[in-house]
Amino acid sequence: MEKRVHIAVVPGPGFSHLVPILQFSKRLLQLHPNFHVTCLIPSLGSPSTASKSILEALPPNIESIFLEPVKPEDLPQRVAIETQIQFTVTLSLPSIHQSLKNITSNTPFVALVADSFAFEALDFAEEFNLLSYIYFPSAATTLSWYLYALKLDKETSCEYRDLPEPVKIPGCVPIHGRDLNNQAQDRSSQVYKLFLQRAQRFCSVDGIFINTFFEMETGPMRALKEEGRGYPQVFSVGPIVQTGDDAKGLECLTWLDKQEDGSVLYVSFGSGGTLTQEQVNELAYGLELSDHKFLWVVREPSSLAFDAYLRAQKSVDPLHFLPEGFLERTKEKGMVIPSWAPQVEVLAHSSVGGFLTHCGWNSILESVVHGVPLITWPLFAEQRMNAVVLSEGLKVGVRPRVSENGLVERVEIVKVIKCLMEEEEGREMRKRMKELKEDAANAIKEDGSSTKTLSELVLKWESLV
Ligand code: UDP
C-alpha cells in the first residue's frame, strides 16, 4: 500500500487567502489521493459565513483546525489591511506552534505550506523537520516585484510613485510606481517595512507556489527561474480556482438564464472591496446610461476601499445606498444583489459577456478560466499591478481613467462599458481572452505545464516519506 503523505498548510486570514490554499490542497488530492492535508486556520474575530461554508464542505483528507481567533482589539488600530492580516498571523504563532507540535508528535509530516502573509509560521519548519513553502495566491508579476523590490529599495531614494519612468521588473510589463502595490506607496511606513521583510523571507524557503500558469505569465516566470538571481525555486501550479457547482436555482442565475448570450456585464469588487457613496452613485448612473444589461453585487459604501475585507458583513441593506429611483428605472436592464454573488457560477454562465472587477487575483483567474474579458477597476493591495498586466500586458481588459477628484465618473464608465461590450477593441479583447481560456485549460490537463510542475514536486515529497 502506498504510504500516506502528510503536509500542513497555513492560510492567511480572510476568505480570499483561505480559499486558494484549500483549492491548492484539493488539487494535490486530485493528483495524489494518498495525500493528507491539515489546515491550521488563523482568523481575526470569528470566520465569515462564506469561509465557514467552504470549510464544512471539505473532503475527508483535508482536516481543518481553527486556531484561537485573534481579537480585533488586540491589533494596532487604524493600520493598513496588509498589516492587520500579518499581525493576525503573528498573534496566532503560539497556537500554530502548539498545533504543529500536536499533529507531528505521532505522524511524520513532510512539508509546511504557508500563505504569503503567514510566512512567519515557516520559522517552525526546521524544528519539526519540515520542508518550507510559500503559497503565493497572486500573479508571478507580483512575486517578481516582491523580489525585485529588495534590489530597487537599495538603489532608489525617492518614492517609487515619483520615479519618472515606469519600473522595469525583469520579464514583466513595465509598471508605473503609482501602480505598484499599496504597501510600496509610502516607503517610510510600517507596511512597507513589513513588505520588504516578507520579500526577504521568501528568499530562504524551499520553494514558492504561484497560482498562475506559464502561458499567461511567460515573461515573469522565465525571469523568476533564471539562474544567477538567487531566487528560491518557483512553481506555477495554476489556475487553481473554485469550481462552484452548488448554487443552482438562485435568483440571479435564473435571471441570467433569461438573458441573451454574452449580453450581461457582471460587476463585483471581490470579497470585501467597497466604494465611497459618491462612487456608488457614479457607477449606478454609468450602468444606467450605458444601456447594457448588468448584474451588480452592491455593498454598503465606505470611505475605506477594503472595509468589508476582514470584518463580517453588517446587517444594513446595501441597496438603500443606491440613487433614488435607480432600481425602478433599471429593472428591465439589470439586477442588483446585496453583498455576495455565486461568482464562479455567474462567470460560467453563457449570458455573461464582461466582468467589471476590482482585479483581485482570484477573480481574474476565474474570469480567465471562463473566458470573460474585463473592465479593470483596481481598489487596493496589488490590484493596480494586476490591472496593468491585464489591460496593458495581456490586453484582455480595459481600464477606466480616474479623474482628478479621485472618482471614475459616469461618462468614463459608459465609455469603457461600450468599449468592452460593443466596439472592435472589445471584440479583440474577447478573442484574446478565449485564447487564454484555452491555455488555462491546457495548463491543468494531465500533460499540462502546471500539472507537470506539481506532480514532479509531489514525487519528491513522496520519496521523503
Ligand atoms: N467572491 C464570490 N462572491 C462575491 C464576491 C467574491 O464568490 O460576491 C469570491 C470570488 O469568486 C473570489 C473571491 O471571492 O474567489 C475574491 O477573491 P479576489 O482575489 O478576487 O479578491 P479579494 O477578495 O482578495 O479582494
* pLDDT for 310: 61
**Protein residue closest via CA to atom 24 of ligand 1:** 16
Low-confidence ranges of the chain (pLDDT < 70): 1-2, 244-249, 307-315
The answer to whether residue 306 sits within a structural domain is yes
Q: Do 429 and 395 have their domain in common?
A: yes
* pLDDT for 303: 83
Over the stretch 103-139, which tens digit does the pLDDT of each residue have? 999 999 999 999 999 999 999 999 999 999 999 999 9
Tell me, in angstroms, the distance from the centre of ligand 1 to residue 365's CA.
11
Q: Do 49 and 189 have their domain in common?
A: yes
> Quick one: which atom of ligand 1 is closest to the CA of 379?
25
Q: Do 43 and 83 have their domain in common?
A: yes
The best mutation among 16, 376, 382 to test binding of ligand 1, ranked by most ligand atoms within 8 Å of the C-beta, falls on: 16
Q: How far is CA 425 from the centre of its chain?
A: 26
The answer to whether residue 244 sits within a structural domain is no
DSSP-based helix, strand, coil % in the chain, nearest 5: 45, 15, 40
DSSP 374: E
**Protein residue closest via CA to atom 21 of ligand 1:** 360
* pLDDT for 16: 78
CB 142 within 8 Å of CB 40: no
The answer to whether residue 243 sits within a structural domain is no
Q: Residues near ligand 1 with C-beta < 6 Å?
A: 15-16, 19, 242, 268, 270-273, 297, 340-341, 343-344, 360-363, 366
Q: pTM of whole model > 0.80?
A: yes
- Residue 17: active-site member: yes
Q: Do 65 and 121 have their domain in common?
A: yes
**Protein residue closest via CA to atom 15 of ligand 1:** 362
Task: Collapse the DSSP code of 61 into the 3-class scheme (helix H, G, I; strand E, B; otherwise coil) and give the result.
Answer: coil
Q: Do 216 and 361 have their domain in common?
A: no
> Quick one: which atom of ligand 1 is closest to the CA of 380?
25
Q: Do 170 and 215 have their domain in common?
A: yes
- Total structural domains within the chain: 2
Q: How far is CA 372 from each of CA 156, 366, 429, rounded to the nearest angstrom? A: 39, 9, 9
- Residue 36: active-site member: no
Q: How far apart are CA 351 and CA 292, in angstroms?
A: 12
Q: How far apart are CA 437 and CA 430, in angstroms?
A: 10
Report the CATH number that the domain containing residue 408 is assigned in CATH.
Answer: 3.40.50.2000
The best mutation among 362, 368, 379 to test binding of ligand 1, ranked by most ligand atoms within 8 Å of the C-beta, falls on: 362
The answer to whether residue 31 sits within a structural domain is yes
From the list 348, 360, 212, 347, the residue with the least C-alpha distance to 272 is: 360
Q: Do 386 and 419 have their domain in common?
A: yes
Q: Do 149 and 265 have their domain in common?
A: no
**Protein residue closest via CA to atom 7 of ligand 1:** 343
Sign of CA dihedral 41, 42, 44, 46: positive
The answer to whether residue 245 sits within a structural domain is no
Q: How far apart are CA 150 and CA 297, in angstroms?
A: 38
> Quick one: which atom of ligand 1 is closest to the CA of 273?
25
Supply the DSSP string of 301-370, one letter for each residue: --SSTTTTSSSPPPSS-GGGGSPTTHHHHTTTTEEEEES---HHHHHHSTTEEEEEE---HHHHHHHHHT
The best mutation among 359, 363, 379, 383 to test binding of ligand 1, ranked by most ligand atoms within 8 Å of the C-beta, falls on: 363
**The one-letter amino acid at 84:** Q
Tell me, in angstroms, the distance from the centre of ligand 1 to residue 363's CA.
6
Tell me, in angstroms, the distance from the centre of ligand 1 to residue 242's CA.
10
**Protein residue closest via CA to atom 18 of ligand 1:** 360
Tell me, in angstroms, the distance from the centre of ligand 1 to residue 362's CA.
6
Tell me, in angstroms, the distance from the centre of ligand 1 to residue 255's CA.
21
Q: Do 176 and 257 have their domain in common?
A: no
Tell me, in angstroms, the distance from the centre of ligand 1 to residue 361's CA.
9
* pLDDT for 314: 60
> Quick one: which atom of ligand 1 is closest to the CA of 366?
11
The answer to whether residue 246 sits within a structural domain is no
Q: Do 126 and 201 have their domain in common?
A: yes
* pLDDT for 308: 64
- Selecting among 6, 32, 97, 115, the annotated active-site residue is 115
Structural domain containing residue 456: 5-238+444-463
Checking ipTM against 0.85, whether it exceeds it is: yes
Tell me, in angstroms, the distance from the centre of ligand 1 to residue 369's CA.
15
Tell me, in angstroms, the distance from the centre of ligand 1 to residue 463's CA.
36
The best mutation among 19, 182, 266, 271 to test binding of ligand 1, ranked by most ligand atoms within 8 Å of the C-beta, falls on: 271
Q: Do 41 and 118 have their domain in common?
A: yes
Q: Do 209 and 273 have their domain in common?
A: no
Q: Is the peptide bond before 239 cis (omega within 30 degrees of 0)?
A: yes
Sign of CA dihedral 13, 14, 16, 19: positive
Over the stretch 183-202, which tens digit does the pLDDT of each residue have? 999 999 999 999 999 999 99
